[in-house]
């Protein structure tokens, strides 16, 4: 009876599930969807199938009108839904309905250490994508921050695969909860912009599995990401768009990815290899579209027997599968654009992302009752970050600058005056000659700033970079602050003893001198539509800062593994990843190199005490879960959020190990004087290393140290457990 009922349901559903989705109101089973897809594919000609496998415009690939298959529309990207560009040109389409919510950049998101916010971010993106009728959002992007000067560090999350994975999964789930496909990118090992289209990243198997793939694996297996973007570069000799090992073997076979692989724009180099090795859709920036590798040449290759029809069918089925979970799904939401709720979400993310680096004189939170005047100095105080440089941005409905945020908050009672301080004379699309001199201070602007700073109670220096200086397609040449900012900092600090330095950037910079000479340092980001309001609330103490650095700040570039081993940007277009698994803090901690700021670092207006770390057992089997509890006490005077980080360390291992690895974390709110118990749970399997010989994960028996701390270098509680076979 049950079986018959099921059969009946399936038959009805097939009849009720035309590509016109309007009548399909219930969740449709995978079996039904597959059945429907098979029926459709049978009706398609080879030419129609091939049309679906390559771009027909900048941000779409063709559908099949006679069968009701829509175009697969997509859009960038991580910062929010990009403005509408012309169909065949990157110029703005001039729409008036595409002003979106500008969400904090990737490293800002990671600095929140709050997966629930990544989920919320995803919902905003998904709702706005629906409003704009986009089926695929080209986000999130979470390549590992291997090279601190990588031009796209601001778009990515962190240097740690676990933190990346926790955020990626939630961002994907959030986007897809709105029946919009996430496109996780850039798969894989796309860690530098220098030579990004040609460089061959040579990575050993263990490093690939332990560092560069986990967040992708999690996004696919836990997040169920519907699409994935192959990267521009080569990995171990093969372009990512035709890398059978990465695409067919690992992604599709091992991880069971059911969705579609989309190339990065212009990242395809052949027809037969990518077609047979796992790429599903070729995208790019310019026509003629019918000449692309996956257009007429692919049709010819199929006819010549070089690409099986079954392979083409598989690609089409994957695209239809994506559509049935998105635009053609039951109860597809209509979407919303830049609502007050979206703005509020942008605010919450921004406020949890800001990192307090130093507060030695307790100048923060500002004593707004006694302060009468503030000098706001620096181009970044009045600059917006939604657009700029080469790469995806957002036409923000609005963006509160730092100066506006302070004026909104304090303008009535405090005299706030602005001086530009430096000239941000660097454009991403300029030649080096045109940009010459961008690193020089402007003495007359410094003089004006100093004159102003001398007259006010407090001076706030807004330095850092901007979206032109940190940009897709090129890396920074070093960690120096641009625009002669150090000279400005020195002069203003000299002029006003109450100088607060606020750095706005998306990647590590050299703050050595500032860390030494300045007593108050705050780190902000390309922090979204509400960035200025969030910052003002942090500076005034309405929000207690809780951001923690998602990457290590090297004291000097040479300390960073890729530079220490001279493997960046590579020679003869080859970058050997000689540091192996020792990326980020794994390198600094193992090699005992003091960083400028460690991974996971960030202060609060209160203090937290850690005590009583206890694992629920002493000895675990390799299939067990490990539950670790500890007590956090807010020992200061205000409520605050602390991110408790649990690292694991394995001594005397049969393989090389990092000094410690992040395996769990939790952000908790604690009221002043109160304690809370934090429970962190991991699986003994999470302690495994990738065993190259066995081609699988091995949990090594023996003793492990559990290290709970406030950063990778601030371990407060230690415990020991044993794993048996």
Residue 676, CA distances (Å) to 434, 621, 633, 644, 712 in order: 56, 29, 6, 12, 21
Residue 185 Cβ, how far from ligand BGC at the closest point, in Å?
6
* Long-range Cβ contacts of 588-594 (<8 Å, 24+ apart): 588/552, 588/554, 588/559, 588/712, 589/658, 589/659, 589/660, 589/712, 589/713, 590/658, 590/659, 593/554, 593/555, 593/559, 594/555
Tokens of 494: 């000299």
Q: What is the DSSP letter of 246?
A: I
What does residue 536 show for φ and ψ, rounded to 5 degrees? -60, -40
Report the residue number, 183 or 381, with the smaller CB distance to ligand BGC.
183
Question: Tokens 């035709």 identify what position?
Answer: 242
Question: Is 471 in contact with 428 (CB distance < 8 Å)?
Answer: yes
Report the residue number, 153 or 645, with the smaller CB distance to ligand BGC.
153
Residue 269 Cβ, how far from ligand BGC at the closest point, in Å?
15
Residue 512 Cβ, how far from ligand BGC at the closest point, in Å?
32
Residue 297 Cβ, how far from ligand BGC at the closest point, in Å?
22
DSSP alpha helix (H) spans, 91-160: 106-112, 115-131
DSSP alpha helix (H) spans, 30-183: 30-43, 46-51, 106-112, 115-131, 161-176
C-alpha–C-alpha distance, residues 62 and 239, integer Å: 25
Report the residue number, 83 or 661, with the smaller CB distance to ligand BGC.
83
Residue 74 Cβ, how far from ligand BGC at the closest point, in Å?
8
Residues that bind ligand BGC (CB under 6 A): 76-77, 138, 185, 264-265, 392
| DSSP notation for 670-692 | E-TT-EEEEEEEEEGGGG-EEET
Report the residue number, 178 or 233, with the smaller CB distance to ligand BGC.
233
Report the residue number, 212 or 265, with the smaller CB distance to ligand BGC.
265
Report the residue number, 283 or 538, with the smaller CB distance to ligand BGC.
283
Closest by Cα among 650, 601, 719, 707 to 159: 601
Report the residue number, 147 or 708, with the smaller CB distance to ligand BGC.
147
- Name 691's bridge partners: 696
Closest by Cα among 173, 181, 240, 242 to 213: 240
SS3 state at 607: coil
Question: How are beta strands 72-76 and 60-61 bridged, if at all?
Answer: antiparallel
Residue 392 Cβ, how far from ligand BGC at the closest point, in Å?
5
How many residues are given for the chain?
Answer: 725
C-alpha–C-alpha distance, residues 317 and 293, integer Å: 20
Report the residue number, 33 or 283, with the smaller CB distance to ligand BGC.
283
- Among 83, 264, 537, 589, the active-site one is 264
C-alpha–C-alpha distance, residues 323 and 259, integer Å: 10
Residue 696 Cβ, how far from ligand BGC at the closest point, in Å?
32
Residue 137 Cβ, how far from ligand BGC at the closest point, in Å?
10
Q: Is 165 exposed, middle or buried (0-12, 13-18, 19+ CB in 10 A)?
A: buried
Residue 207 Cβ, how far from ligand BGC at the closest point, in Å?
23
**In whole angstroms, how large is the CA radius of gyration of the chain?**
26
Residue 264 Cβ, how far from ligand BGC at the closest point, in Å?
5
Question: Is 335 in contact with 178 (CB distance < 8 Å)?
Answer: yes
Tokens of 604: 């609060």
Q: Is 568 exposed, middle or buried (0-12, 13-18, 19+ CB in 10 A)?
A: buried
Is 447 among the catalytic positions? no
Report the residue number, 213 or 283, with the smaller CB distance to ligand BGC.
283
Report the residue number, 214 or 393, with the smaller CB distance to ligand BGC.
393
SS3 state at 19: coil
Catalytic residues: 264
């Amino acid at each position: 009876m049950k079986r018959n009922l099921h059969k009946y349901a399936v038959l009805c559903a097939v009849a009720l599930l035309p590509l016109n989705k309007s009548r399909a109101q219930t969740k449709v089973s995978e079996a039904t969807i597959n059945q429907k897809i098979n029926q459709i594919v049978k009706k398609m000609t080879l030419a129609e199938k091939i049309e679906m496998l390559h771009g027909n415009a900048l941000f779409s690939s063709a559908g099949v009108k006679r069968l009701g298959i829509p175009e697969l529309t997509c859009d960038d990207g991580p910062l929010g839904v990009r403005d509408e560009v012309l169909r065949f040109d990157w110029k703005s389409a001039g729409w008036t309905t595409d002003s979106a919510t500008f969400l904090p950049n990737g490293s800002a998101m990671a600095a929140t250490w709050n997966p629930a916010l990544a989920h919320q971010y995803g919902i905003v993106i998904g709702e706005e994508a629906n409003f704009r009728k986009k089926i695929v959002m080209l986000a999130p992007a979470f390549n590992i921050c291997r090279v601190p000067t990588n031009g796209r560090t601001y778009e990515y999350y962190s240097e740690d695969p676990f933190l990346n994975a926790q955020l990626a999964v939630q961002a994907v789930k959030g986007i897809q909860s709105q029946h919009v496909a996430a496109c996780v990118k850039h798969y894989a090992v796309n860690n530098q912009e220098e030579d990004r289209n040609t460089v061959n990243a040579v990575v050993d198997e263990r490093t690939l599995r332990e560092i560069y793939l986990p967040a992708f694996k999690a996004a696919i297996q836990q997040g169920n990401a519907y699409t994935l973007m192959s990267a521009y570069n080569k990995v171990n000799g093969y372009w990512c768009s035709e890398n059978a090992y990465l695409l067919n073997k690992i992604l599709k076979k091992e991880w069971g990815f059911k969705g579609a692989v989309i190339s990065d724009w212009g990242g395809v180099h052949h027809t037969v290899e990518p077609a047979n090795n796992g790429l599903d859709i070729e995208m790019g920036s310019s026509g003629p579209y019918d000449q692309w590798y996956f257009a007429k040449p692919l049709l010819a290759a199929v006819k010549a027997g070089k690409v099986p029809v079954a392979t083409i069918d598989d690609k089409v089925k994957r695209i239809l599968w994506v559509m049935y979970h998105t635009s053609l799904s039951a109860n597809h939401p209509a979407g919303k654009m830049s609502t007050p709720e979206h703005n509020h979400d942008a605010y919450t993310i921004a406020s949890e992302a800001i990192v307090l680096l130093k507060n030695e004189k307790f100048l923060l939170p500002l004593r707004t009752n006694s302060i009468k005047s503030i000098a706001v100095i620096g181009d970044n105080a009045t600059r917006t970050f939604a657009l700029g440089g080469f790469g995806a941005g957002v036409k923000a409905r609005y963006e509160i600058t730092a100066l506006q945020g302070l004026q909104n908050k304090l303008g009535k009672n405090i005299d706030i005056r602005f001086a530009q301080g430096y000239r941000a004379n660097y454009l991403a699309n300029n030649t080096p000659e045109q940009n010459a001199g961008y690193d020089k201070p402007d003495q007359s602007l410094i003089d004006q700033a100093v004159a102003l700073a001398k007259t006010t109670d407090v001076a706030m220096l807004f330095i850092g970079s901007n979206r032109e200086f940190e940009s897709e397609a090129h890396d920074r040449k070093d960690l120096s602050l641009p625009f002669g900012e150090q000279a400005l900092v020195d002069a203003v600090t000299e002029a006003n003893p109450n100088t607060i330095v606020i750095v706005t950037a998306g990647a590590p910079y050299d703050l050595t001198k500032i860390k030494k000479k300045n007593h108050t340092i705050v780190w902000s980001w390309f922090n979204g539509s509400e960035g200025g309001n969030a910052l003002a609330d942090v500076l005034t103490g309405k929000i207690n800062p809780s951001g923690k650095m998602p990457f290590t700040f090297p004291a000097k570039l040479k300390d960073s593994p890729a530079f220490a081993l001279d493997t960046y940007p590579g020679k003869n277009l080859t970058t050997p990843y000689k540091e192996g698994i020792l990326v980020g803090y794994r390198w600094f901690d193992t090699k005992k190199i003091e960083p400028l700021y460690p991974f996971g670092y960030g202060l609060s207006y209160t203090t937290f005490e850690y005590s009583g770390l206890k694992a629920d057992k002493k000895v675990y089997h390799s299939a067990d879960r490990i539950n670790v509890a500890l007590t956090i006490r807010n020992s200061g005077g205000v409520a605050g959020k602390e991110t408790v980080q649990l690292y694991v360390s394995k001594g005397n291992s049969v393989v090389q190990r990092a000094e410690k690895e992040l395996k769990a974390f939790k952000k908790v709110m604690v009221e002043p004087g109160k304690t809370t118990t934090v429970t962190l749970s991991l699986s003994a399997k999470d302690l495994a290393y990738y065993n190259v010989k066995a081609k699988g994960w091995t949990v090594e028996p023996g003793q492990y140290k559990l290290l709970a701390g406030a950063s990778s270098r601030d371990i407060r509680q230690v415990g020991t457990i044993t794993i048996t076979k």
